[in-house]
Amino acid sequence: MLGILLAAGVGRAAEEPPSLNPFGKMPSEREDATPGYLEMSDGSIHYGQLYMTRDKRFQIYDDKAQRQREVPLRVLKQLDCTVKKEWMEKEWKFKELAKDEKMFTGREYPAREYTHTLKLENGETIEGPLSGIVYVQPPTYSPGHTGGHKPPAEPQRFLLHKRDKGEIGDELRSLLYVKSIKLGDEALKEGQKKAERRPAGDTKPGKKPPTKKPPAAKK
């Protein structure tokens, strides 16, 4: 009986996770993550460890080769996005009595088409419409935090589109997009410096600049 109890105790001890040193190096959230930064069209910078959904790649139509290609994040050095076309799309709806006839509602929403340029580590460049999802895990190291590390923040999710549209009543400037991505240790340092130089009062991603109310008319 004693042998059975001792064996069970050993089994439980073996299953327990190893103790973590609170002052040691924090483990990486994703082993396939790559250091670098992402810049939005409003100038906001997001740096840290970048990765995609597991087993996912960028889907891009190579304009030069005239074929669809899949590009993993690990072979990418830089991504740049260019606005191909943008406009304010009118909202239409069908008339109640005439289902085959539409009428303009008087409302509009922003719409935009993009083209992307991928620069790979081997020097190859691919251009064309692209789609994909990139995550940015902010760094946990903070000199002012106890032990040199702070609790891991939630990863930020960014969509890359071939075409995008905003909400009814929005303006084109409120339709933000991923302007560029740079990867590598040097890119991570560059992104951190850019983020530190960005004024604290800048508009946050997805938010419109504050507007001042006009002064009240004097009686």
Please give the pLDDT value at position 93. 83
DSSP code string of the chain:
-HHHHHHHHHHHHHHSPPPP-TTSPPPPS-TT-EEEEEEETTS-EEEEEEE-STT--EEEEETTTTEEEEE-GGGEEEEEEEEEEEEEEEEEEE-SS-TT-EEEEEEEEEEEEEEEEEEETTS-EEEE-EEEEEEEE---B-TTSGGGB-PPPPPEEEEE-SEEE--TT--GGGS--EEEEEESHHHHHHHHHHHHHS-TTSPPTT-PPP-PPPPPPP-
Is the alpha carbon torsion for 103, 176, 53, 130 positive or negative? positive
pTM for the whole thing?
A: 0.72
pLDDT in tens, the chain (219 residues): 444 443 444 443 434 444 434 444 444 468 889 999 999 999 999 999 999 999 999 999 999 999 999 999 999 999 999 999 999 999 888 777 666 778 878 899 999 999 999 999 999 999 999 999 999 999 875 545 455 556 678 899 999 999 999 999 999 999 999 999 999 999 999 999 999 998 755 544 444 433 344 444 444
